[in-house]
Amino acid sequence: MDEEARQKAVKRLEEDSERERKRLESAAKESITALKGKSEGDVDKRKAQREERADKLEEKLTAATEPLMKEAQALEKRIEERQGSQIRTPIVFESAKITIAETGETIGREHLTKLRKAVKARLDELKDKNAEERERALSKIDTDITTLKEGLATEIEAVETKLGEDVEAFQARVGAERDELMLLAQMQFLTETKYRELKSKWGQVFKADMGAEAFYDILARMDLESTAKELWREVKTSKSKQKRKKASSGCAWLKTCASPATGPSG
């Protein structure tokens, strides 16, 4: 095992993890910015439509009230001019279909009052009708704007949720690779498939050979007594069940290797 190479590999894993986290966060930020841009554009269009519709309704109300007010002013002038006189033709407020004075009546201040009440009633009627139309037209646009804003919030939440899941999944994968790297140890026996897998990932960290010669080479370079003490210490003190089991197996293996029947014949 090359411990220096192992530590460098661990550092590379951590650096790769940080780069990937930043990449995922950057991609999520770009997605959210794009979503906001589209949503704000759609909302601005609806607001422009709302303003345009409101202006048209205001123009419609003005178009309806202007002739009414002109007629009312003309009738008021006529009534003022005929105060105390008996009229030969009726005075009719056509905009409201109301007769202010009948033929033969003597015009007095009460006819001005009647006209003004009729004008106010007709104006109120027109304003109420316009307000109802305004409410129907603008409330639909307001609902569209609210729906767009709520949709944006939902889409942003989905992006952020996916970001969290992606970061968590990647960190879990990095953690598993780090554990795999740290568990590489001397006297570890590997299948050919596992060996090739680990070699492709951590070939710079460990050296492994196959066959009896590799086995004898390991034994020749090992301090069996020191290794046995270390393994027994691991069995007795480790809090990890996996590590204790592995150390126990190592002790059993060393015991076999130390027997006279094991080991190279000389």
Q: Are residues 152 and 220 in the same domain?
A: no
**Which pair of structure tokens corresponds to residue 3?**
């411990």
Q: Which residue has the higher pLDDT, 95 or 183?
A: 95
pLDDT (tens digit per residue) in 41-87? 999 999 999 999 999 999 999 999 999 999 999 999 999 999 999 99
Q: What is the mean pLDDT of residues 144-167?
A: 95
Q: Are residues 128 and 216 part of one domain?
A: no
Burial 63-75 (b: 16+ CB within 10 A, else e): ebbeebeebbeeb
CA distance 223 to 231: 12
176 located within any domain: yes
For residue 202, being part of any structural domain is answered with no
Strands 98-101 and 91-93 come out as: antiparallel
Q: Residues 59, 117: one domain?
A: yes
Q: Which residue has the higher pLDDT, 219 or 30?
A: 30
Residue percentage of the chain with pLDDT more than 90: 58
Residues 114 and 215 occupy one common structural domain: no
Do residues 217 and 173 share a domain?
no
Whether 219 and 172 share a structural domain: no
Residue 200 predicted with pLDDT over 80 = no
Q: Is the same domain home to 160 and 35?
A: yes
Task: Note whether 175 and 61 are same-domain residues.
Answer: yes
Tell me the C-alpha to C-alpha distance, in Å, between residue 187 and each of 104, 246, 256, 258.
128, 11, 13, 14
Residue 21 CB: number of other CB atoms within 10 A?
Answer: 16
Q: Is residue 122 part of a domain?
A: yes
**Are residue 110 and residue 226 in the same domain, yes or no?**
no
- Length of the chain, in residues: 266
Are residues 235 and 176 located together in one domain of the fold?
no
On whether the CB atoms of residues 92 and 99 are closer than 8 A, the answer is: yes
Range from 11-20, 32-41, 65-74 carrying the lowest mean pLDDT = 11-20
In which domain, by residue range, is 248 found?
Answer: 209-258
119 vs 76: CA distance, rounded Å = 11
159 and 233 together in one domain: no
pLDDT at residue 4, as a whole number: 84
Residue 254 pLDDT? 65
Burial of 43 (0-12, 13-18, 19+ CB in 10 A): middle
Query: Is residue 39 in some structural domain?
Result: yes
Is residue 264 assigned to a domain?
Answer: no
Tell me how many domains the chain contains.
Answer: 2
DSSP-assigned states of every residue in 150-171: HHHHHHHHHHHHHHHHHHHHHH
Residue ending a domain, choose from 182, 201, 221: 182
Q: Tell me, yes or no, whether 177 lies in a domain.
A: yes
Residues 171 and 99 in one domain: yes
